[in-house]
Amino acid sequence: MLLGQAQPETYEAQLEEKIQVTLEEFKSFNPPELEVFRSPAEHFRMRAEFKIWHENGEAHYAMFKQGEYKKPVKIEQFSIGSEKIVALMPALLKAINADELLKLKLFQVEFLTSTTGDAVISMIYHKPLNENWQNTATTLSETLQCKIIGRSRKQKIVISEDFITERFQLSNGVFSYQQVETGFTQPNASVCQHMLNWAIQNSANLGGDLLELYCGNGNFTLPLSRNFNRVLATEVSKTSVHSAQYNIQKNDISNITIARLSSEEFTQALNKEREFRRLKDIPLDDYQFSTVFVDPPRAGLDADTEQMVARFDNILYISCNPHTLQDNLTGLCKSHDIKAMALFDQFPYTDHRECGVLLKRK
């Protein structure tokens, strides 16, 4: 695939290849029929990052192929980007090339957009940013009708706000999310909504209380809270914890508690191996957990967390790495059976696959 270019005519073939690879990899676990959730064939990426390549006095968007970091590929079109990104890119580049203050020592630009049309652009420099830059960026923000952030070493200038607002219409309601510029968010909004609805559907009748590890900004936490009496969600990133708490309040949800802990720390707390001041006001023994929800990083669940998760009757697992999911399922399927499995095409035209499984105790 050309960098940044969608190829709609190849979409069905690339998706079918992912389906067949997934079926082959997981057949030894005897899963039920694989549910497949498609992505739009173009304009699916809600965020994007570009290097700025300076050549003959002009700035250009550029990306690099893996392993070829001295050979920039100029990006003239970016049809995998959201329609908002596609609209902003030429307008921003024109403004950069028309103003030396904006262009000088600019080395990276990042876009974060939402399905509601909200957008924030981060401009990253190898120079200090002064009041003149701020005034120019403020005018640019008004012209482009988006938020702008300027960054350089030990410096961050925010024009308006450093977050966007996303809104999802899901099967059990409408949810609004603050997505902070530096925080983790799902890059494909359409597939994210499929993932959320799949998790809602597969936890609808589990009851009891929910434990969630790696909750991020509350992406899954908010809609899943409607399926459980109470939710205890953990996250280690301070930025994500603050966003999650903001989102809980914004959506007027009262049955979620957030604890700033890593999965390893929570496992130690649950095993009563270690006490944490961050849990002093959270009575763990009062929870009646029926289900654990995990959406770990690419490394999957560490051995101790896997053992802890295996104690739960129901396990909902979203994975961004099928290979570490396989490793975890090798252990978890000794005590649990796979009752539902899904493939989410989060990153079309790449080898990346996102999977979801529901496991129930045997």
Q: For the chain, how many helices (H) and strands (E)?
A: 10, 17
Catalytic residue, candidates 192, 320, 333, 355: 320
Whether residue 100 lies in the annotated active site: no
State which amino acid sits at residue 345. Answer: D
Q: CA separation (Å) from 145 to 104, 121, 141, 211, 247?
A: 23, 11, 6, 40, 24
Alpha carbons within 13 angstroms on the beta-carbon side of residue 264 total: 3
- In this structure, are residues 143 and 159 in contact, taking their beta carbons and an 8 Å threshold? no
Cα diameter, the chain: 66
Whether residue 354 lies in the annotated active site: yes
Q: What is the dihedral of CA 261, 263, 268, 274, to 10 degrees?
A: -20
Task: Write the DSSP assignment of 61-78 as a string of letters.
Answer: EEE--TT-TTS-EE-S--
Q: How far apart are CA 98 and CA 265, in angstroms?
A: 51
Q: Residue 121: which residues within 8 A CB-CB, separation 6 or more?
A: 88, 92, 109, 110, 111, 112, 144, 146, 147, 148, 149
Cα angle at 174 between 172 and 176, to 5 degrees?
A: 135
Catalytic residue, candidates 166, 265, 306, 354: 354
State which amino acid sits at residue 176. Answer: S
Give the residue numbers annotated as catalytic, written as ranges: 320, 354
